[in-house]
Amino acid sequence: MVVELISVGTEILMGNIVNTNAAYLAEQVNSMGLVCYYQTTVGDNEQRLTETVKTAMGRANILILSGGLGPTKDDLTKEVCAKVCGKELVEDKAWRQTIKEYFTKRGLKLTDNNWKQAMVPEGSIVLDNPNGTAPGIIIETEKNTLILLPGPPNELIPMFKASVVPYLQKKQEAIMVSQTVKIVGIGESAAAEMIDDLYEKQSNPTIATYAKVGEVHLRVTAKAEDEKKARKLLKPVIKELKNRFNEHIFTTDPEVTLEQSIVDLLVDNALTVSTVESCSGGLVAGRLINVPGVSEVFKMGHITYSNKAKRKIIGVKRSTLEKYGAVSEQVAAEMAKGGFGLSKADVTVSVTGIAGPDGGSETKPVGLVYIGCCVKGKTTVKEYHFSGNRAKIREATVAAALVLMRECVLEYISEVTFGKKEKR
Amino acid sequence: MVVELISVGTEILMGNIVNTNAAYLAEQVNSMGLVCYYQTTVGDNEQRLTETVKTAMGRANILILSGGLGPTKDDLTKEVCAKVCGKELVEDKAWRQTIKEYFTKRGLKLTDNNWKQAMVPEGSIVLDNPNGTAPGIIIETEKNTLILLPGPPNELIPMFKASVVPYLQKKQEAIMVSQTVKIVGIGESAAAEMIDDLYEKQSNPTIATYAKVGEVHLRVTAKAEDEKKARKLLKPVIKELKNRFNEHIFTTDPEVTLEQSIVDLLVDNALTVSTVESCSGGLVAGRLINVPGVSEVFKMGHITYSNKAKRKIIGVKRSTLEKYGAVSEQVAAEMAKGGFGLSKADVTVSVTGIAGPDGGSETKPVGLVYIGCCVKGKTTVKEYHFSGNRAKIREATVAAALVLMRECVLEYISEVTFGKKEKR
B420 pLDDT band, cuts 50/70/90, is: low
Q: Does residue B422 surpass a pLDDT of 80?
A: no
A175 pLDDT band, cuts 50/70/90, is: confident
At A227, which CATH number? 3.30.70.2860
> Do residue A120 and residue A10 come from a single domain?
yes
A303: nearest CB among B39, B42, B300? B300
At B162, which CATH number? 3.40.980.10
Average model confidence (pLDDT) for chain B? 92
Nearest to A277 by CA among B213, B369, B275: B275
Q: Does residue A424 surpass a pLDDT of 50?
A: no
- Reported as a single tens digit per residue, the pLDDT across A288-299 is 998 998 989 999
Q: What is the mean pLDDT of residues A275-288?
A: 96
B221 pLDDT band, cuts 50/70/90, is: confident
Provide the residue type at A93 as one letter.
K
Q: What is the mean pLDDT of residues B296-317?
A: 95
Instruction: Give the residue from B141, B171, B201 where a domain finishes.
Output: B171
Q: How far apart are CA A248 and CA A215, in angstroms?
A: 10
Number of structural domains (chain A) is 3
The four Cα atoms A279, A283, A285, A286 give a dihedral, to 10 degrees, of: 160
Q: How far, rounded to the nearest angstrom, does the alpha carbon of residue A223 sit from its chain's CA centroid? A: 24
> Do residue A44 and residue A131 come from a single domain?
yes
Instruction: Give the residue from B139, B171, B203 where a domain finishes.
Output: B171
CB atoms within 10 A of CB B247: 13
Please indicate whether residue A61 or residue A11 has the higher confidence score (pLDDT): A61
> Do residue A342 and residue A245 come from a single domain?
no
> Do residue B107 and residue B201 come from a single domain?
no
> Do residue B83 and residue B162 come from a single domain?
yes
Q: Does residue A353 surpass a pLDDT of 80?
A: yes
Count the helices and strands in chain A (H runs, E runs). Answer: 16, 17
Strand ranges for A193-293 from DSSP E: 206-212, 215-224, 249-251, 273-277
User: A173-177, A281-285, B138-142, B205-209: lowest mean pLDDT where?
Assistant: A173-177
User: A57-66, A342-351, B99-108, B295-304: lowest mean pLDDT where?
Assistant: B99-108
> Do residue A206 and residue A263 come from a single domain?
no
> Do residue B240 and residue B267 come from a single domain?
no
Q: Does residue A374 surpass a pLDDT of 90?
A: yes
> Do residue A160 and residue A191 come from a single domain?
no
Residue pair A373/A379 in contact by the 8 Å Cβ criterion? yes
> Do residue A186 and residue A310 come from a single domain?
no
A114 pLDDT band, cuts 50/70/90, is: confident
- Residue A337: its H or E element: helix A329-343
Average model confidence (pLDDT) for chain A? 92
> Do residue B158 and residue B194 come from a single domain?
no
The four Cα atoms B164, B167, B172, B175 give a dihedral, to 10 degrees, of: 70
Please state, for a pLDDT cut of 70, what percent of chain B lies above it: 99
- Reported as a single tens digit per residue, the pLDDT across A156-169 is 999 999 999 999 98
Environment class of A125 (CB within 10 Å of its CB; exposed 0-12, middle 13-18, buried 19+) = middle
> Do residue B263 and residue B358 come from a single domain?
yes
Whether the bond between A357 and the residue before it is cis, its omega within 30 degrees of 0, is: yes
Strand ranges for B202-353 from DSSP E: 206-212, 215-224, 249-251, 273-277, 298-303, 347-353
Q: How many residues does chain B have?
A: 424
Q: What is the pLDDT of residue A420?
A: 63
Chain B positions in Cβ-Cβ contact with residue A40 (cut-off 8 Å): 38-41
Provide the residue type at B229 as one letter.
K
Residue A230, min C-alpha distance to chain B (Å): 22
Q: Find which of A6, A11, A39 to mutate to test the B interface (most B CBs within 10 Å of its CB).
A: A39
- Reported as a single tens digit per residue, the pLDDT across A300-319 is 999 998 999 999 999 999 99
B424 pLDDT band, cuts 50/70/90, is: very low
Name the residue range of residue A121's domain.
2-171
Which of B 261-320 lie inside 8 A of A, CB atoms?
275, 277, 279-286, 288-290, 292-295, 298-306, 308-309, 313
Q: How far apart are CA A215 and CA A254, in angstroms?
A: 13
Q: How far apart are CA A289 and CA A398, in angstroms?
A: 13
Please indicate whether residue A144 or residue B187 has the higher confidence score (pLDDT): A144
- Put simply, whether A19 touches B (Cβ < 8 Å) is yes
Q: What is the mean pLDDT of residues B396-420?
A: 92
Instruction: Give the residue from A251, A273, A289 where a domain finishes.
Output: A251
Q: What is the pLDDT of residue B2?
A: 95
Chain B positions in Cβ-Cβ contact with residue A293 (cut-off 8 Å): 358
The alpha carbon dihedral of A257, A262, A267, A273 has a sign of: negative
- Residue A46: its H or E element: helix A46-59
> Do residue A160 and residue A241 come from a single domain?
no
Q: What is the pLDDT of residue B421?
A: 55
Q: How far apart are CA B64 and CA B35, in angstroms?
A: 12
The alpha carbon dihedral of B178, B182, B186, B189 has a sign of: positive
Provide the residue type at A321 as one letter.
L
Q: How far, rounded to the nearest angstrom, does the alpha carbon of residue A35 sit from its chain's CA centroid? A: 22
Beta carbon pairs, A and B, within 8 Å: 209
At A414, which CATH number? 3.90.950.20
- Reported as a single tens digit per residue, the pLDDT across B374-401 is 999 999 999 999 987 888 899 999 999 9
